[in-house]
Structure 1
Amino acid sequence: MVKERLALGMDKITEIIREANTDMPLDTYFRQVATFLEKTTRVYQKVNAGNYLERDVNELKEDNQSLYEDIRGENYESSFCNPDYARECLGEELASHLCFLAAEVRIAIPSAYEGQEEYLAIIYELFTLVYTLYRQGELTKKSLQQAIYWHASDYLDVFLADRLIAGATPESGIAFTVLKAYQKDDLRYLYGYGEYVGEEQLALATFINQLPEETITKMASVFTEGYRLGFVATGKDLSIKGTVSLRFVLGFERVIIKAIANFKEMGLKPVIQRAASSALLKQGMSKVGVYGGIVNKQFDYDHRFDQGLFFDKKYVQRKLEVMQTTFEHHGDLQRLLAGPAVIEVFGEEFTPLKKKESSLAYTKEQEELLQTYEMKAASIQNTYIPREERSFTIVAYPTPEIGPEFAEIFADVIKINTLDYQLYQKVQQSLIDALDTGEAVRIIGSGDNQTDLTVNLWKLKDPQRETIFENCVADVNIPVGEVFTSPVLAGTSGVLHVSQVYLNELQFENLKITLTDGMVTDYTCTNFDSESENRQYIKENILYNRETLPLGEFAIGTNTLAYAVARKYGIEDKFPILIAEKMGPHFALGDTCYSWSEEIPVYNPDGKEIVARDNACSLLRKEDVQKAYFNCHTDITIPYDEIGSLAVVRAEGEDVLLIKDGVFVYPGTEILNEPLMNKEV
């Protein structure tokens, strides 16, 4: 039945290309989108014939490039996937839905490479249905809305259920086919995923494939050992788990193959699935899974809220029902998941173009509904994969996009990721000992930095057995190091300001956030000419469309080597949050680091229990769990050179300075200043 549906769909695509042969805007639209789908058909047929990766590399490259050429570079300006162009050519009435459709049919690319015939049939049927409405003179905003809505709702039990199952099934999917085809001196394997392979991906893979074996071993060992230590540090039993979810970027296959061997020695089989491409499954701009080159970040940004076309109460209820049913039927598989192990990349900076009149956005009602969905979805997941039984690890490396000094930067990042955690553990304990004596911490910026913020701390009842801050080294969050706490919201007030910061793949300039009793009360930046655009940019990408968020974490990053390396190459604005948060005091908006597992005791290496695991928001879980969590956590770091002072405020006696004019001054922390003073770093 599926094969027949697919064959009919292919025939109809060919027919559309032949019929839509005028220069009328809608004919042009359908002809162009159908031509794209015809290309995916040809690739599917080649893959289905077998031995695809044995074809000539130039043919593989041509197939790959042809599927992405319409949204690459300047081509995006005349693509119907571009909301501005769609609106200009198709008119305001139909543009949003047809632009969505042009982007959504791109799920045919991974479907073609994975041989997912049902997925191809579904997407061809949606497109031909809309084309039929056009030919019959019935193409209206309402008919388009209905076609897209029922497509999204009807096929959740295919797309969502399949993704949840694949996300827990070991050693299945296209990635394992590619890893089996891996050859160090033959990059054809990169074209097996169906992800975009540009010059940057080829350069990254070539670079990693040429590294010494001992370097690959070190990279893989840091990755997998950090994962294991995450379980040890939190007292969780890794032996009850059986799988680990691996997430990485094309080019790291050599490291991943070594990491898989390490994980198997721990008793964990790898689960690998690609990042989602459908609006039914995506999480904004986030890439959760395996992915290739980012063809066009503006495309991703323009379509981050596509779900808004059909996101209503019925759809949410349907999505939660599919999720619940899938977990119920595959609970044993889900419970074996130990959590994700992630290799991130960084190098490209991006400030989006705002398209206020043509881009989709959630309504206020949808924003509230999305928050409800996220809370209920997290609750379902936690039922089958309890937070107290799972952990994670994450590490980041640069890509060639970072510039001509890529190789040198990569080598220095390896040093950053492999620092002596025992040394940092000892130094950080000195900071914690001082912090535990305080009522609060006050942070004041220097120069043009306008930060003046007081963070209220938990009050210890038994300082001999309790501590406020966690001594965090290189386990779940590689590299070392930081000390962090969940602040007391009441009394945490002031201004947080940073001149430039890169958050969630987006650049923010002069980001300023005002906090009152631990909650965001005002915010601005200088990315755009209009203040309303600046506020909307922050609301969408830091507050995640909420009116406010709490300060879930206050931390002091201690990785001065990372800071020195960033300054050496002038890449401070390109380091990801993962590394940047270790390069100065940082402040996370959203949930605490202990969300969903506050009841589980956590101890520092000195044996003291970390008691600051809750705040006034998370405590609401005892009354209504939907009011307790926000399902986000974004770290904002003030670099050392923008810090005038960071001091522990004591109830009695003088304040204790930890950082003064960008350097550590508390006894026992002097060694942290060495990278800052070393010009050879």
Structure 2
Amino acid sequence: MDYQMMFQQENENIKERFELSMERISQMVSEQTVPEPYRDYFARTAAFITMMGEYLRFIESGDQKAAPVEVLGEWNQKLYQDILPGHYEVSYADPAYAVSKLGEGYGQLLSYLYKEIRGDIVFVHEWRLTDLTILNETLIEIYNIFEEEIPEVSRIKEVIYWFVSDYTDHTVTFRVREGLDPTLSFATDIIRDNDLNDLRYLYYFGEYISDSELKTAEFLNSLPEETVRLMADTYTEGYRKGFEVMGRDLKKKGAVQIRYELGFERMVKYAMENFEKLGLQVILCRAAVWTVNTNAGRKNGYYSTSPNRQYVYDHRYDDALFLNKAFKDRKAAVLKVAYETYKEQAAAFAGPAVMETFGKEGFEPVNKPEANHLDSRQEKLSAEMSNETSRILNQYVPGDETSFTIIAFPVPEIGEDFEKIFEETITINTLDYEKYKAIQQAVIDVLDEAEYVEVTGKGNNKTHLKVALRPLKDRDKETKFENCVADVNIPLGEVFTSPRLTGTEGTLAVSTVYITDFQFKDLVMTFENGMIKDYSCSNFEDQEEGKALVKQVILKNHDTLPMGEFAIGTNTTAYAMARKFGILDKLPILIVEKMGPHFAVGDTCYSWAEDSPVYNPNGKEIIARDNEISILRKEDVSKAYFSCHTDITIPYAELDRIEAVTASGKRIIIIDDGRFVLKGTEELNIPLAGL
């Protein structure tokens, strides 16, 4: 079915309301019925909505598909100009500007509303008149209040609260559906139905299109077919292997969700073909638009280069305007009904196939006092809501029945060596499975003897950690560490476990680490019995601002988190590439975690699937799937999970030694002075020669 036709009845039902609201908003552009300083806000916001009406007609008439790429580029700039650097600072989308013009309280609320209204760009492209209409009507309602008198801030906040709460039946339900339903084919139709050599197709998505997307697409189009197919085959075969390794039946599933950054459509098209051969329909939903569906620092879906990362950062906690216990309960109830409505699609969902990118400059945010912030009560509610969402999801999409895969490629912003780095990344993503399997097993054999592992940093790196390990009952049948080769996590190159929290203690330090969009500098964490005791970074002169950033991005606003994973990365080839091109600080954690020991804070790697046996290639069962926190699920599941898992790696250059220590006190050195010294691992040092 044509995607537009899927919404025909819904759009017909709301068309009159939509047209009336657009007519009223067009009048607001020039009316003088609201006093300054508020009049300017409403006039400029109404002008944006009027422009979106013009763009809707541009699409509906067929002119968009006929327009040359230059015209589409001009439109894209017009749509996003207001939040681009240099314009954002005088836009009501910037809460600092909004507060300076409208005053405290009014500024935050109306900046939030304008941010939501900017979602019109997506809704127009996807013919979602309901979303356009409810935003229009909310703006009109608030405008009418200002026409009568200057209201109290509390009155506007009440309108916003009930707007968000009442429409969760629509906004949250649709978000659940678009993540599960392959018949919502907006993006897959674009990829299937267009000539990908004609880059006009990029503008049909409705996302911001920068030089990055254009250059990436051009580059992929220049590659030989066998190269792009190799990329796609590696990606989809990793997904298939994930089910095989975990002992899960892929044949019972019917759909996979691809998550990626625009520009890689040629590879995605081949991946779609591969998945369909595996019996999986492809879901392509974009990253969430409505605030009620977003998670700070996370993008689930397809997306493009952010037009302004400060804009995203400023609005990351807009839910502070409406988050209370009643809203948390309301959203959970809607989620439950939504998953029940789409339970057949949920049962068929196999899990996500994720493609990350790397190469962008690190983002150093400005903490604006005018931006919305969660208070301590809301931080707890937010964490509770994440856990509740995970429980509902696991009920309908059980974690022990699904899998995933994740792979990464560079984007042109990485610099003049982009093409060479891309070529070497393909090599890294396709390293010899069998060779690494054998080398990593040699490491695991020693670790299985150990009671704990000691990790120490070198030079200015003050890491000194003792990581306690779970004991084995039967070494012939059991193992503590998973031998991770190229399946769910591409590239290959690590062995990992869930540490025993009791006895895990010390300091973890790293000079720089890239987590989501943030480059943390001089990150330090201390642990006591496996739980984070303290933390800091040097991103800001004010240490408290640094602590706040760590809490927001890494701890996800929890007061503490357990060490959910300890791993030893073995991909020295990736590390050599990073040093060769000077891009260590630009690599994603997916690759960096294979380049030294890494530690994840949050849930274990087996969350929501701890009771499902997992085996290494040698047939031994990995028994370290639980820790003292996750096991609480058997008593009270709300105490067992944190709905986050963030990896932090110490690169080989900052690493002194990793030693396995047995119960008798025997020490077996695995890495010394940043080099592998354990028998059977010496080959890993070859790429490090000369570094």
Letter in 1 for 2:635: E
The aligned residue for residue 56 of structure 2 is 44
Find the aligned partners of 1:260 and 1:396 in 2 and give their Cα distance. 17
Show the 5 A alignment for 1:211-226.
211-226=223-238
Residue 54 (1) aligns with residue 56 (2)? no
How far off is 1:24 after superposition? 3.4
Shift of 1:177: 2.7
2:297–2:553 CA contact under 8 A, matched in 1: no
For the residue of structure 2 that corresponds to 1:659, the secondary structure is strand
Any stretches of 5+ residues in structure 2 without a counterpart?
1-12
Cα distance change of structure 1 residues 131 and 450 upon mapping to structure 2, 3 Å threshold = same
Is the 8 Å Cα contact of residues 511 and 521 (structure 2) preserved in structure 1? yes
Q: Could you say which residue in structure 2 is the equivalent of 1:581? A: 593
The code of the aligned residue for 1:655 comes to R
* Corresponding residue for residue 526 of structure 1: 538
Local SS of the residue matching 1:338: strand
Task: Give me the whole-angstrom Cα distance separating, in 2, the residues matched to 1:285 and 1:297.
Answer: 11
Give the residue type in structure 1 aligned to 2:102. L
The letter for the 2-side match of 1:661 is: D
Aligned length in residues: 679
- What TM-score do the two structures reach when normalised by structure 1? 0.98
Q: In the alignment, does 2:319 pair up with 1:310?
A: no
C-alpha spacing 1:212/1:132, structure 2 compared with 1 (3 Å): same
Which of 503, 506, 515 is residue 518 of structure 2 equivalent to? 506
- 1:105 and 2:117 correspond: yes
Equivalence map 1:487-566=2 (5 Å): 487-566=499-578
- Shift, 1:678, TM fit: 5.8
The letter of the residue matching 1:119 is: D
Gaps of 5+ in 1: none
Tell me, in whole angstroms, the C-alpha distance in 2 between the residues paired with 1:180 and 1:602. 37
Percentage of pairs with the same residue: 46
Structure 1 residues 225-270: Cα deviation after superposition (integer angstroms, max 9, x where no partner): 0000000000000010000011111111111110011111111010
CA contact (8 A) 2:258 2:283 kept: yes
* Deviation, structure 1 residue 170: 1.2
Residue of structure 2 in register with 1:203 after alignment = 215
- Residue equivalent to 1:438: 450
- Alignment of 1:299 with 2:316, yes or no, is no
Residues 438-464 of structure 1 deviation map (CA, whole Å, 9 limit, x = unaligned): 110000100000000000011111111
Q: Verify: 1:159 aligned to 2:200, yes or no.
A: no
Q: Name the SS of the counterpart of 1:427 in structure 2.
A: helix
Per-residue deviation at 1:180? 2.9
- Larger mean CA deviation between 171-180 and 74-83 belongs to 171-180
Which string of whole-angstrom CA distances, capped at 9 and with x for unpartnered residues, describes residues 385-415 of structure 1? Answer: 1111100011111111111211111111111
Aligned twin of 2:652: 640
Matched residue SS, 2:306: coil
1:12 and 1:670, CA in 2 relative to 1: closer, same or farther beyond 3 A?
A: same
Matched, 1:68 2:93: no
Correspondence 1:313-462 to 2 at 5 A: 313-462=325-474
Aligned-partner residue type, residue 649 of structure 1? V
User: Residue by residue, what CA displacement relative to the aligned partner does 1:163-195 show, whole Å, maximum 9, x if unpaired?
Assistant: 211211114232023113331321010010100
Counterpart AA for 2:638: Q
Counterpart of 2:98 in structure 1 is 86
C-alpha distance in 1 between matches for 2:629 and 2:666: 32
C-alpha deviation, 1:154, in angstroms: 0.9
Q: Which moved more, 1:32-41 or 1:594-603?
A: 32-41
Structure 2 letter corresponding to 1:273 = C
Give the match's secondary structure for 1:462.
Answer: coil
- State the Cα distance separating 1:80 from its structure 2 match: 1.2
Question: Counterpart in 2 of 1:238?
Answer: 250
Q: Which residue in the other structure is 2:666 paired with?
A: 654
Q: Is the 8 A contact 2:309 2:363 kept in 1?
A: no
Q: Deviations over 1:297-323 (max 9, x none)?
A: 111111111111101111111111111
- Normalising by structure 2, what TM-score? 0.96
Aligned residue for 2:116, secondary structure, equals helix
- Aligned partner of 1:468 in structure 2 is 480
- 54-63 or 226-235, which moves further after superposition? 54-63
In structure 2, what is the equivalent of residue 629 of structure 1? 641
- Is the contact between residue 303 and residue 360 of structure 1 (CA under 8 Å) also seen in structure 2? yes
The reply to whether residue 667 of structure 1 matches residue 690 of structure 2 is no
- 1:261-306 alpha-carbon deviations (Å, 9 max, x no partner): 1111111010111111110111113221111221111111111111
Equivalence for 1:602: 614
Note the C-alpha offset of 1:652. 2.1
Matched, 1:268 2:292: no
CA-CA distance at 1:583 after TM superposition: 0.8
Q: Is the 8 A contact 2:96 2:368 kept in 1?
A: no
Indicate which of 18, 37, 46 corresponds to 1:25. 37
Give the aligned partner of residue 616 of structure 1.
628
What secondary structure sits across from 1:613 in the alignment? Answer: coil
CA pair 656-278 structure 1, distance change in 2 beyond 3 A: same
Please say if residues 84 and 355 of structure 1, whose CA atoms lie closer than 8 Å, have aligned partners that are also in contact. Answer: no
